[in-house]
Amino acid sequence: MRRPEVGAVPRRCAQCGGYEYGGAPACGVCRRLVDGVVEEEWGAFLRRWDVAGGDEERSLAEMVAAEPDRYDWRVVDAALDRLECPDCGDRLARGPVGCPACDLAHGFRYAAIETDRPGVPPGNEHAIRVNVSVVRRPHVTSDGELLVRRLLLPLLLVGYLPATEEAQRLSAQLKKSPPERRALLAERAVEALAAKLSRTPRAARGAASSPTSPDTPAATRRRSARGRPR
């Protein structure tokens, strides 16, 4: 399944009732959708290289993992999924907290290329890849961070990017609230944002999220340096 188009209205998941993608990792349907963000691009990458699988696919994954700064972040994440960590035996970069090889691979994969889609604010693709990474590696993240990132992912995928003050306000609200109320508050905040998006005409949403300068390219290609906040 292709990920949502820029300007699309987030859809409900038939299994968990939340917005698609946002129920991961607990919801199996949403989890498969999140994995699909990465796997779809890997499939296209294999077709470009005329590789069907097997040893050739593993060799290609090793090549990508060795030079992550040359490839799209989805290709890099998918390549790491196909390699075994020499220290913990899990998929590389997805092992337990403190695994040296996984931590190293996880850091270096942020050198991969991030290309913003036309019609989104600069940095939208970086936000998507960070949130996808958090949802696919929940065991290395706090419950609070996982909650916010998984719930915001459906909105990011359709081109939304929260302003810094919005994100800070939501974070402050959640920190002040009792743990048992945090999920409800976060869900209400995301519901309000989704409702606002659904009331805005699609064309206006795309125009509003485009870079303001006419000389700014619609698609921004960039690399996220290792050690960058994520």
102-123 confidence digits (pLDDT tens)? 999 999 999 999 999 999 999 9
**How confident is the model over 120-176, as pLDDT tens digits?**
999 999 999 999 999 999 998 999 889 999 999 999 999 999 888 888 888 888 888
CA distances for 51 relative to 57, 75, 129, angstroms: 6, 14, 25
Which residues, including other chains, have CB under 8 Å from residue 222's CB and lie 6 or more apart? 113, 114, 115, 116, 126
pTM of the model: 0.85
**Mean pLDDT estimate for the chain:** 87
Q: Which residue has the higher pLDDT, 68 or 198?
A: 68
* Angle, vertex CA 63, rays to CA 61 and CA 64, nearest 5: 65
The confidence score (pLDDT) of residue 180 equals: 87
- The one-letter code for the residue type at 72 is D
